[in-house]
Each structure stands twice: as structure tokens, then as C-alpha cells.
């Protein structure tokens, strides 16, 4: 219940705050894309590769700043690892790990081509035994055409432990 309340409060605050600011600059955009990544840190012990879908809606707060909401789906594919048990090792198959992030998004445009930003919120755990956790995703993006962005990001989800992925993504603006 706490997770649902937290997620709903974030969505409400972001929507109310940024919808009033969006009136200042007539620049809004829906964004959708994909990303692929390699788990790092502890996540690399039980996952081999990650794929995800990114969705977002941004409002132009000023000529240099966008703010909005972000969500999507992240699937980290489970890996097989050998665990030493006594003199013999035993193979263990780890399950896929899945999250649905719900976050506020912020972007800063130092130049037309480059952007810096972060998504901050909560990642809801989808698979069994996955409680989710605090979600933060700093990123750097580059406009490769008028409506296509290539970005590099670091996804971190923490709740007692830490799940991290270094990702490369392609985002389309509509």
C-alpha cells in the first residue's frame, strides 16, 4: 500500500507542478524509446543483460529546461552462476528481474544538440520477490536528428541492496 501511495503522490505532484509551468514555454513533447544495458556491481552477479522501454512526457519550463514525468519497463535477464558448496560447485539459474519506474524527469539543454538530466522516483518490482525501490537515472543525450536522441544513462534502483545498469538508449520525440 505504501508503494502505491508513494507512486500516486509523485505523479500528482509532478503533474500539477509542471502543467502550470508548461504555460510559460510552448514546447511539450511525448517521448518513447528503447535502451539496452549491462548490469554493473552486485547486479552483474545474477544478471547478464538488460533491455527496456522508455516513455515520458516533458513540458518546456524555459528555453533551457524541460521537466516532466517518466515511466517504462526494465527487464534484466537472469544469469547462470556457479556457487561453491563444499568441494563442488553448483550451478544456480537466477530469474529475470523486472521493474516499472514511475518518476519525475528533468532536462537541461546547454546546447541544442546536447542535454543533461535525470529521472527520480520509484521503481515498482514486477517479478515475484522483487520489492522495487528508490529509482534514479542520470543521463546524457545527443540529438542525432530533429526528433531522435541517443543517450547514455546509469540506472540505479535501491532498497536495502542495489540494482544498477549502465545503458545506451534511443529515444524518439513526437
Decide if 69 contacts 39 (C-beta within 8 A). no
- The count of structural domains within the chain is 1
C-alpha cell at 155: 540506472
Other CB atoms within 10 A of residue 122 CB: 22
Q: Who wins on pLDDT, 35 or 90? A: 35
102-151: per-residue pLDDT in tens? Answer: 999 999 999 989 999 999 999 999 999 899 999 999 999 999 988 999 99
Q: Which of 4-13, 22-31, 46-55, 87-96 has the highest mean pLDDT?
A: 46-55
What residue ranges in the chain does DSSP mark as E strands? 28-40, 47-60, 65-78, 80-85, 88-93, 97-108, 114-125, 133-145, 148-159, 161-173
Alpha helices in the chain, H assignment, sequence order: 2-21
Q: Who wins on pLDDT, 3 or 45? A: 45
17-72: per-residue pLDDT in tens? Answer: 544 444 445 568 899 999 999 999 989 988 999 999 999 999 999 989 999 999 99
Query: How does DSSP classify residue 79?
Result: -
pLDDT for residue 23: 42
* Domain carrying residue 71: 2-173
For the chain, percent of residues with pLDDT exceeding 90: 66
Angle CA 19–21–25, to nearest 5: 110
Average confidence score pLDDT of the chain? 87
The CATH number linked to 153 is: 2.40.160.20
Amino acid at each position: 500500500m505504501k508503494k502505491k501511495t508513494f507512486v500516486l503522490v509523485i505523479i500528482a505532484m509532478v503533474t500539477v507542478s509542471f502543467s502550470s509551468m508548461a504555460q510559460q514555454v510552448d514546447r511539450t513533447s511525448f517521448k518513447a524509446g528503447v535502451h539496452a544495458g549491462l548490469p554493473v556491481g552486485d547486479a552483474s552477479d545474477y544478471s547478464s543483460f538488460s533491455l527496456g522501454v522508455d516513455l515520458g512526457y516533458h513540458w518546456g519550463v524555459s528555453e533551457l529546461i524541460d521537466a516532466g514525468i517518466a515511466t517504462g519497463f526494465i527487464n534484466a535477464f537472469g544469469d547462470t552462476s556457479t556457487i561453491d558448496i563444499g568441494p563442488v560447485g553448483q550451478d544456480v539459474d537466477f530469474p529475470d528481474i523486472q521493474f516499472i519506474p514511475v518518476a519525475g524527469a528533468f532536462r537541461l539543454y546547454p546546447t541544442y544538440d546536447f542535454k543533461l538530466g535525470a529521472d527520480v522516483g520509484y521503481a515498482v518490482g514486477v517479478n515475484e520477490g522483487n520489492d522495487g525501490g528508490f529509482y534514479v537515472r542520470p543521463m546524457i543525450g545527443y540529438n542525432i536528428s530533429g526528433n531522435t536522441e541517443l543517450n547514455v544513462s546509469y540506472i540505479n534502483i535501491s532498497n536495502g541492496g542495489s540494482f544498477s545498469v549502465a545503458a545506451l538508449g534511443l529515444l524518439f520525440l513526437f
